[in-house]
Chains A and B, each alone.
Chain A
Amino acid sequence: MSGRWPRLLAGDWLLLLLLLLACGASFRWLWWQQGNAGELVLSANGQQFTHWPLRLDHRFELPGPLGITVVEVRAGRARIVSDPSPRQYCVQQGWLSRAGETALCLPNRTAISIGGQSQDDSLAF
């Protein structure tokens, strides 16, 4: 034994390196990639209004029984800018960026949700 601190053997280093790589890969595949890939699905009145790729910036106006819901797509994210619903829940939700995230404006019967390009592909274990 040399010094106070114990020495790591070759296998330890190898395992540690593999784990650090796995950490990096898991961040890369589960956090960053999933947020960017995919498209936005806009619904009004219970039906799909349109869908739009998140990488293209755009503004939408969704018609509902109470008025117009304004949706903004910018820099790979989407949000509801304004909505006539009384409690403004969907506006307060802010930016959506991950697959599966949804903002519902129930009183106005409008909704946006983010779908992955192929939902389960990146999460197949």
Chain B
Amino acid sequence: MIHWHSDSRELLASNHDHHLASLAACGIVLALLDAALPSPLPGIKPGLANIVTLYALARLGWRAAVWVSLLRILGAGLLLGSLFTPGFWLSLAGGGGSLLLLALAQWLPRRGFSVISYSLLAACGHLGGQLLLARGWLIPHQGVWLLLPPLLTAATVTGLLNGLFTLQLLESATDET
């Protein structure tokens, strides 16, 4: 008789995996908070979960940021019941856009650009990804671009605030250790 469970191979979660998982969990909590906050206009959200992505990027690198971001989008989709709905694809497109810009941001000189720049770029990437998906798939009409001015303004403001918050968080974390 074969006991499959006696297979000696085990999936061991490394410290790094635990770190990623806990960051993703923080991201999910912030994403839920984001969804619960009232917003003045559909599409304008503080994007608090970006703080976690930025933290992961600064501490563990871009690949970790990708993991944390995708796990957060999937987890938040499950918990909000929006998995595979247009809203889910929009947040995936937004996450993809911001990760893309964050990857490009790695080329920026470290001396002149702090995490605040990264946050601003991530917010713009998020907006860009969502708007392109909306234009290409959900609302195939040129009128979608009329949403750009208020959304870009909101992205600048939330990107700045999230960046300031992340910088504070990173500096206080270095103070402790």
Contact = CB atoms under 8 A, between A and B. Distances in A.
Interface of A: 1, 5-6, 8-12, 14-16, 19-20, 22-23, 26-27, 30-31, 98, 100, 120, 123, 125
Contact of A26 (B149, B159, B167): B149
Contact of A15 (B121, B145, B164): B121
A19 B152 contact: yes
A23 B145 CA distance: 13
A30 B121 contact: no
Contacts of A10: 112
B67 to A, nearest CB: 26
Contacts of B167: 6
Contacts of A11: 108-109, 112-114, 117
Q: Is the interface of B mostly helix, strand, loop or mixed?
A: helix
Interface of B: 108-109, 111-114, 116-117, 120-121, 124, 142-143, 145-146, 148-149, 152-153, 155-156, 159-160, 163-164, 167-168, 171
26 contacts: A6-B167, A6-B168, A9-B111, A9-B116, A9-B117, A10-B112, A11-B109, A11-B117, A12-B112, A12-B114, A12-B163, A15-B113, A15-B121, A16-B120, A19-B124, A19-B155, A19-B159, A23-B152, A26-B149, A27-B149, A27-B153, A30-B149, A31-B149, A98-B146, A100-B142, A125-B145
Nearest to B123: A19
